[in-house]
A and B are shown apart, each in its own frame.
Chain A
Amino acid sequence: MSAPSCNDRALLNDWHVVADCLALTLDVPFTTRLMGVDLIVTRSVLDTRIVRADTGHRVCSEGRYGFVWACLGKPERDPFYVRESDEIDRHLLSGGSIAVNVSGLRLVENFLDMGHFPFVHTGWLGEEPHTEVLPYNVTVTEEDEILATECKFYQPIASPTAQQGMLVDYTYKVIRPYTVALYKSNPVHPTRMDVIVLFVQPVDEDNCVAHSYLCYLKDGMEAAAVRSFMQLIFAQDKPILENQVPKRLPLDPRAETPIRADIVSIKYRRWLGERAITYGAIPLHVASSAGVNGRMEG
Chain B
Amino acid sequence: MITLYDYELSGNCYKLRLLMSFLGVDHTVVPVDFYPGREHKADWFLKLNPLGQLPVLQDDDLLLRDAQAILVYLAAKYDTSDCWYPRDNPALLGEINQWLAFADGITGTASAARLHDALFYDFDIEAARAGAHRLFRILDEHLWFGEQEGRDWICSAAHPTVADIACFPYVMLSEEGGISRQDYPAIRRWCDRVKRIKGFIVMSGVFPAGPAKAA
Contact = CB atoms under 8 A, between A and B. Distances in A.
Given A99-B119, A231-B8, A242 B176 contact: yes
B33 A235 contact: no
B119 A228 contact: no
Contacts of A162: none
B180 to A, nearest CB: 11
A221 to B, nearest CB: 13
B35 interface: yes
B37 A236 contact: no
Given A231-B8, A236-B204, A99 B117 contact: yes
Contacts of A100: 118
Interface stretch (A51-59, A90-98, A176-184, A189-197): A90-98
A233 B8 CA distance: 10
A242 B39 CA distance: 28
B50 interface: no
Contacts of B117: 99, 101
Interface residues of A, number: 23
Contacts of B35: 96, 231
B37 A224 contact: yes
Contacts of A49: none
A231 B176 CA distance: 15
Nearest to B208: A122
A135 interface: no
B175 A242 contact: yes
Interface string B50-63: 00000000000000
B36 A96 contact: yes
A174 B35 CA distance: 27
A94 B39 CA distance: 15
Nearest to B39: A224
A99 B119 CA distance: 6
B8 A98 contact: no
Contacts of A236: 204-205
Contact of B120 (A99, A101, A232): A99
B202 to A, nearest CB: 8
A23 B205 contact: no
B94 interface: no
Interface string A231-247: 11111101100100000
Nearest to B8: A232
B31 interface: yes
A146 to B, nearest CB: 28
A239 B37 contact: no
B9 interface: yes
Given A99-B119, A238-B118, A239-B176, A227 B204 contact: no
Contacts of B39: 224
A235 B8 contact: yes
Given A99-B118, A228-B8, A235-B204, A20 B36 contact: yes
Given A228-B8, A231-B9, A235-B9, A98 B119 contact: yes
Interface in A15-46: 20, 22-23
A255 interface: no
Interface in B5-53: 8-9, 31, 33, 35-37, 39
A227 B119 CA distance: 15
B36 A97 contact: yes
Given A228-B31, A239-B176, A23 B9 contact: no
A242 B180 CA distance: 12
A167 interface: no
Given A235-B9, A236-B204, A236-B205, A227 B33 contact: yes
B118 A239 contact: no
A96 B8 CA distance: 13
B33 A228 contact: yes
Given A235-B9, A238-B205, A23 B36 contact: yes
18 contacts: A22-B36, A94-B36, A96-B36, A98-B118, A99-B117, A99-B120, A101-B178, A224-B37, A224-B39, A231-B8, A231-B9, A232-B8, A235-B8, A235-B9, A235-B204, A235-B205, A238-B118, A239-B205
Interface of A: 20, 22-23, 94, 96-101, 224-225, 227-228, 231-236, 238-239, 242
In order of increasing CB-CB distance, the 6 nearest A-B pairs are: A235-B204, A22-B36, A96-B36, A236-B204, A232-B8, A228-B31
Given A20-B36, A231-B9, A234-B204, 14 more contacts: A22-B36, A23-B120, A98-B118, A98-B119, A99-B118, A101-B117, A101-B178, A224-B31, A224-B33, A228-B8, A228-B31, A231-B35, A238-B176, A238-B204
